[in-house]
Every structure is written in structure tokens, then in C-alpha cells.
Chain A
Amino acid sequence: MASAQVIKRAKYKTTVKDPGTAGVLKMAWDRFIFTPNHPNSASNLDVEFRFIKGHKNTKEGSNKPPWLNLTNDQGGSYIFEFESYPDLHTCRDFVGKSIGRSGETPTAASGKTDASLPDEQISTAELELRIKLLRENSELQKLHKQLVIGGILTEAEFWATRKKLLDQESSRKSKQRVGFKSAMISDIKPATDGRTNKVTFSLTPEVILQIFAEKPAVHAAFLKYVPNKMTEKDFWTKYFKAEYLHSTRNAVAAAAEAAEDEELAIFLRNDDILAKEARQKIRRVDPTVNMEADQGDDYMHLPDHGLFRDGGKDIIESQHELYRRTLAHDLNRHAAVVLEGRTVEVELEDTRTVAEALAKLKRVESANEDSDGTANQGILERIARITEIEDLQASHGPPLAPLCIKDPRDYFDSQQVIAVKAPAAEGKKCNLSSREAYGSLRDSISQTKQMGLLNPVVKTKDALQVFNALSHDISRTKYDVGKNPQDSVLDKLPSTTKEQLLHHWTSIQELLRHFWSSYPITSSYLYAKVNRLKDAMSQIYPQLEEIKKSVPAHHKQHVSVLVRQMHQALDAAFQHYDADLQKRSAKSSERPNGYV
């Protein structure tokens, strides 16, 4: 597997801006040692991997040099600049393994740091997934460009909040295995070109596997003759010659040909292996099963049973019995193989390997079948494995953490009690006592009961006024909002302004999400992140103002409403930032060198 240690040339840097000290990085299974080229340099390192909690690296193709950043559990970091990306990858993989190993006995704290500081160890598959997502979603791409390429967020931070998107994407892939086609191989129709007497059979690895599975004799012959006695091509030519003879239903000709060619005879004769298996099976059949067909099974009215070849029609003399295969044989064997499913898991490239794999499997099976119980067990297992048909099953919902409300009654009771008790805080003064209030309500009910309803309920004048007012309202909203009443305010704005606003809105939301989730600040990493975020947000602030100024006067009001919301959200963040900073500076006087 991996070599026990890795030695690479690298530059060690304390910070990103540090020019770095050239030297040799040696990574052993439990520690890494950095020896500077210049023996006088102070940056001699010897760190055990168990203190390393995370690692990041620059991406190939980005304009940065190949850096590997190892973070230790105190929040500090070691940055190495390698000479090439392959070097970086070797070391990164090594570090990944080493950390994984030391993480097998993790302390409680380490797990959490990992969670808050996702490392950059991603598989190529995941990388592809990310690229695909970005390509499909232009909005996401824009955001990614602004935030990640702009250096406000790291790649990992950006994707950490989008785990769900990635998961969804990856879970779409199907694990389902493709079974055998239900079409019978004997239906491989020979193609004739009509002019010459040549008959062409087309053969694919798929078909070969199926032939092997359905015809053990062919399988055995293949193993025996190819490639020692004949080439694969010759083998198949012979096979199809035999097949062709079968399909012409000329048993006499078949017998004649078999007499001449020994190998050909194998294909034409009844399959001995099959016959043996069939006898075994017959022994196992429950004799009480009623095999009588009922009316529903009637296929008789279909010409030729819908099959290419019909065994029912040949009438052959008994001496050629040997060379006759019945349709029922073929059908049964085919059905059995299809139901059994695909059991060989090799790439369908080399026929020889396929044949051998199948043979191996057969041996295993026959060993199993010695004891009847295990055989049944095997079948059951295989069925369970094969019948996992995903596209027919309901989709599994996303895993849910069950919400536990301690005592649901508490929740509703408290609601109820407050609802009954608490009066609203404000409102018009009601100058009646409850008794008077109830009394007057009851009076008006009984009054209605006696007097009947108002007649007419509405005066014509009022009715018309209301109707006209409503109609007017409707026509006004139609006018205001444009042709489609479902349009929102945004659609009225010039499209550039609209796009800008929307873009700012999404980026503000993204920034805010990261901003708030970084609190409370527990590491220098988070501290730096918050600072970056704050700077980015304060850049957006004036941009919003500009948009507000640039729009035409009649849109100004709508835009300012929208912008105000964003400003408010940003203000809240800044406020929190300042408050936090103050608290921090008060504390840091006690601990001067707390953070970078």
C-alpha cells in the first residue's frame, strides 16, 4: 500500500505572506519533521499527527502555488509550499491517512473542530459533482465566483452549507444491477444480405454471457477448446452453424453434419449438463403442485407463440431424436437464467475471463448444493440481492431527526391558558363591563329574531357604490401591476436593477448565513472569517445606496423599500460585530496573544 514515509522538498511558511524557509519535509506514520536547508534556521519542526486537526490545500489550476496547510488543535497552522502539485497530492493523501489513523481514538473536542473547520479532502467524484452543480445553476455560479474566487469564503465553507444539494445530486445515481434481457438468445436473427448465401450472426459480449449462462455445454466446450484447439472466432462460427441448422428444423441435415464434425456435434446434441440439472430439479419439485393451465394462460391464439421458432411443428423420425431440441427446453432454461439474474460481475470485455468467472461461480454453487438447505438459502439471498429494484420503490425520504417535545400537553396547555387569560395589550377602550357586553350582544340577536332580517339588506346606493369601488380596485391593481396580476413589484423595475438587487440579496443572505454561524467565535480561523465577511458586507452597503440613487424617480420608492430591508439586515450584523469586538477587546487585555 502506501509507503511508510514520504520525503519531499518544501518551503515552510508561518503565514501565507511569509516568503518561507526552504527545506525537506519528512512524513512518518505518526509525525512529520521539517528540516530546513539552512542549518541555522529556527524553523525546525517535529510535530505529531495527533495534534493536527485539519488540513487544507490549494487547488490545482488555481493561480496559487501548491500549498498544504495543516492546522493544529491550538488554532495555529503550518503551511508548506511544494515544488509541484503531485508532491502536494502525495503529502496531502499521506496526511489524510495519518490524521484518520490518529483520529481513531478521538477526543471529544477534535470531532467538533473538524465539524467547524471542514477540510479540503475531497474525492474527484465530489469535485465533479460540484462543478456540475455550478454549471447547471448560473445563480450559484455567480455567487461562487463572487465569494470563493473573490476570496471571501473558502471552497469548503461555500459547499459546507450546500451539503444537501450535493447529497441529492449524488444519491440520484442508481445502484441497481441490470439483469439479463428477457429476449431469448435463440431469437438472434441471422441477417442475410439476400444476394449471397452468407448468413451473418452478430455477437456482443452481452449475448456471449447469456449463451454461456443458458447453455452449459457450450460453456464447457469453450473452456475446453479455446484458445488451445481453435480460435474464438472459429468457435463461434461453429456454434452459429449449429444454431442455424436448428433454426431450419432440419434434423436430418443436423445429424449428417454432426457425423462429420465432432465439435459441431457438441452444439447439436442435447446438453448433457442441462439434462443432469433438470433431473436434479425434477427430484426437488413438490409433487403436489398443480401444473394445469387455466383459461387465463391461453397463448394459443398467438401465431407461433409469438416466438421466432416453434418446436411444436416438427415431426421427426425417432432416430434423430438426439439432435432435436424442443422449444420447451429452450424456454425453460431461458426463464431460469433470467430469473436467476446476473451473477457474474466482470467487465464484459474478454470472453475468456467471462467464461472462467462463470465456471468458478458454478463450482461454488455446486458445492453449495450438496446440502439442500444451503442451496435454498443461497437462492433466497440472491433473490433478496437482485430484487432490489430501486426505480420501483418509493423514494426514501431524507433522514430526519425526530423532534421530541417533552410533553406536548405543556405546549398546548400553555397556549390555551394564555389564550383564555391574556387580553390584548392595546386597542380601543371598551367602556362596558362584560355583563353589559354579553347582554347587548344577546339583545341584538333576539331583536333580529323578532324583527327578521333587514329588508332590503343593502340599499341600492350602497350596493352600487361598493361594487364600483371594488371594480375600480381591481382595474387599478391590474393597471399598476401590469398585464399579469401575479407580477411582483420587482418585475416593474428595469431588468438590470432587478438583477442587481436579486444578486445582492442572495449574496447578502449567503454572507449573513456564514456570518451568524461563525458566532460564537472560538478560533482564530472563525475570527478571520468573520472579518472577511464583514469587509465584504461593508462593500455591498454603498453599492446598494448607488442602486437606490440610479433608479428613475418613479421606482425610487419601491427600491428604497427593498434596499431598506437589506440594510437593516446588514446593520444588525454590524452591530453584533461591534458589540462582540468590544467584549473581546475587554477580555483580550487579560490574554494579550489570544488570536492572530
Chain B
Amino acid sequence: MASAPSKLYTDDVSLLVVLLDANPFFWSASSLPFSKFISHVISFLNSVLLLNQLNQIVVIATGHNCCDYVYDSSSPASRSVGTGKLSALSVDLLEKLEEFVGRDEKLLKKEPEGSIASSLLSGSLSMALCYIQRVFRSGPRHPHPRILCLHGSQDGPEQYVAIMNAIFSAQRSMVPIDSCFIGAQNSAFLQQASYITGGVYLKPQLLEGTFQYLSTVFGTDLHSRGFLQLPKSVGVDFRASCFCHKKTIDMGYICSVCLSIFCKHHKKCSTCGSVFGQPHSEVASEPNKKRKAGDT
């Protein structure tokens, strides 16, 4: 899996799509309180807007049950007046975020069973990519887009397929996915996402200094990335999840027609319906058992 070749940009005008983890179950267990975290993030967003008048920021909140746009610097509606304490951006963003959390709660069907539930990362990634596609189609001169995942919740293996699809679509359109992971364990999804798309994956050691991480590493525009060395993650977990039980597996069966992954032998592919070979029938589409190996 080679990372996407980065385009050569002639200027530093950027479109930053931030995926903000707003999963209450994560934040209630996190060592960094959300109020502090959001301060870091808003300051960072302000500093990005400060760098270039044409810079554009879109914030998508990723909840437990849904995701939605909470801020778009290009939309004319977002021009509320800043108070002495807060910039217009923060007023807007916090307002929308509050509404969003309310909506997310209403969608909650049942209590997650005593553990940290994952956020709907696949949804917000797709939304971000849709937005970026719209920008690409807006004309020949558009800002250079990148996605920044500010994520802390654990991976939801059940989202594996959707997330991988989003990652490959980002790779195709050469949109790097940066990830700043503030949770306890590393996120295999985001590691892969950043690796494949040529973005940066970083897990801050000192959460109090989140702003510094954001500004030093993730504030770098795509133009400057041509001249700078950014942190590289050491090991990437390339393991896949199976489609049938959403388990992360080392070795499994792959449908030779649609490349769906299964942890054990099935008679039929649940995705495309191909009939797999029985030990004594000679159907061409027999599943190859293959080891997925990282190309380190």
C-alpha cells in the first residue's frame, strides 16, 4: 500500500476539514476535560484562519449515533459577532455543537453496555469527502483540502468496511487524512488512514499541550509539507476486520470476486452472493486463504 503521491501546490491556501470527536462516553472517561480540549481546538482553528484570508475551515462533529457539520467558515450565515471573550467562530461553533449533542442524545436507542462506545467515524469521514468533492468541482482554483481527525474514541470494528472505503476514496482524490489521536490506545483505523493517504498520525504524549501539537504538526499546509519533515508513526497496524463478525483478524478468507474478508469459510459470499467452492466441486471462485501481511 503506497501512500498517495502528494500534489504539488503553488500556494498555501488550504481547506481544513476537522472531524471533532463529540462522543460523550469517551469524554466522560477522558483525562483531558472536553472544555480544555475545545479551547485548544478553537485556538488552533483561529490560528489557521489567521494565516491566510482565503483559508477555509469546516468542522464536522462525530457523535456516537450521528454526525453533522457544526461550522463552516465559508458560509455567510456564520457571521455572528464575537463577544469580548469569544471570537465569532467560537460562538458559532459552540452553539451548533450544543445543538448537535442534544440531537445525538435523542438518537440514542439503548444504553451502551458498560463500555466506551465508538464514534461514527465512517459517517463523518464520508461527509468530509463529500464536502471536498464539492469543492473540487467548484472550479479550477480551489483551496487545497486536507482532513484532520481529532479523535479519541475506540475503533468500531463494525465500521471497518465503510471506513476503508472512505480512506481509499480519499487516497484517490489525493486528500491527506491527518489524525491526532487523544485516546488511550492507538487507533488502527486512523493509523491506516493516515498511512494510506499520506497524512500524519500522531498521539500526543502531553495532552495539556494539544494546541502545540496541532499548531506545530497539523497546522502545516500542504505546500510547506514539501519542505518539512513531519512526525512519522513507527508501526502501523494493518490488520483487517472480517465482514461477518467484525473481528480484527490476522488471517482469513477473501472472496475472490468482491474481496470481502471473512474469518471462516462460508458457503456463499454475504456481500456479492458468489457461491464458494466446496472441497470437491471445482468452481473457479474458490476463496483463497491468504495472509494479509504488512509491507514493512
Contact = CB atoms under 8 A, between A and B. Distances in A.
A115 B217 CA distance: 55
A462 interface: yes
Given A405-B258, A463-B212, A516 B290 contact: yes
A485 B120 CA distance: 34
Contacts of B212: 458, 462-463, 466-467
Interface in B255-295: 257-258, 271-273, 277-280, 282, 284, 286, 288-291, 293-294
A427 B157 CA distance: 13
A449 B86 contact: yes
B169 interface: no
A480 to B, nearest CB: 10
A419 interface: yes
B159 A419 contact: yes
Contacts of A488: 296
B232 interface: yes
B12 interface: no
A419 B217 contact: no
B213 A470 contact: yes
Q: What is the size category of the interface that chain B forms with chain A?
A: 35 or more
A430 B29 contact: yes
Interface stretch (A19-27, A322-330, A565-573): A565-573
Contacts of B290: 512, 516
A230 interface: no
A86 B115 CA distance: 77
Contact of B156 (A419, A465, A474, A519): A419
A306 interface: no
Contacts of A466: 204-206, 209, 212-213, 216
B86 A453 contact: yes
Counting chain B CB atoms within 10 Å of each CB, the highest count among A112, A428, A520 belongs to: A428
Nearest to A421: B109
B206 A438 contact: no
Contacts of A467: 212, 216
Contact of B117 (A424, A435, A445, A463): A424
Interface residues of A, number: 74
Interface string B104-126: 11001101111111101011000
A438 B272 contact: no
Interface stretch (B95-103, B129-137, B174-182): B95-103
Contacts of B117: 423-424
A510 to B, nearest CB: 13
A561 B111 CA distance: 42
Contacts, number: 214
A501 B289 CA distance: 23
Contacts of B286: 519-520
Interface in B219-274: 229-232, 246, 251, 257-258, 271-273
A452 B115 contact: no
Nearest to A116: B282
B51 interface: no
Contacts of A572: 251, 289, 291
B79 interface: no
A284 interface: no
A423 B251 CA distance: 24
Counting chain B CB atoms within 10 Å of each CB, the highest count among A116, A447, A454, A473 belongs to: A454
Given A424-B117, A428-B184, A473-B231, 20 more contacts: A405-B271, A411-B271, A423-B113, A425-B115, A427-B154, A430-B28, A432-B25, A432-B29, A441-B24, A441-B28, A441-B34, A444-B33, A451-B85, A458-B210, A463-B209, A466-B205, A466-B216, A512-B290, A520-B280, A569-B291
Give the 9 A-B residue pairs with the shortest CB-CB distance, closest first: A452-B85, A466-B209, A437-B24, A418-B158, A444-B35, A466-B212, A454-B39, A462-B209, A453-B39
9 contacts: A115-B284, A424-B115, A436-B28, A440-B24, A448-B90, A452-B90, A453-B85, A458-B212, A466-B216
Interface of A: 112, 115-116, 401, 403-406, 411-412, 415, 418-430, 432-438, 440-442, 444-449, 451-454, 457-459, 462-463, 465-467, 469-470, 473-474, 477-478, 485, 488-489, 512, 516-517, 519-520, 522, 561-562, 565, 568-569, 572, 576
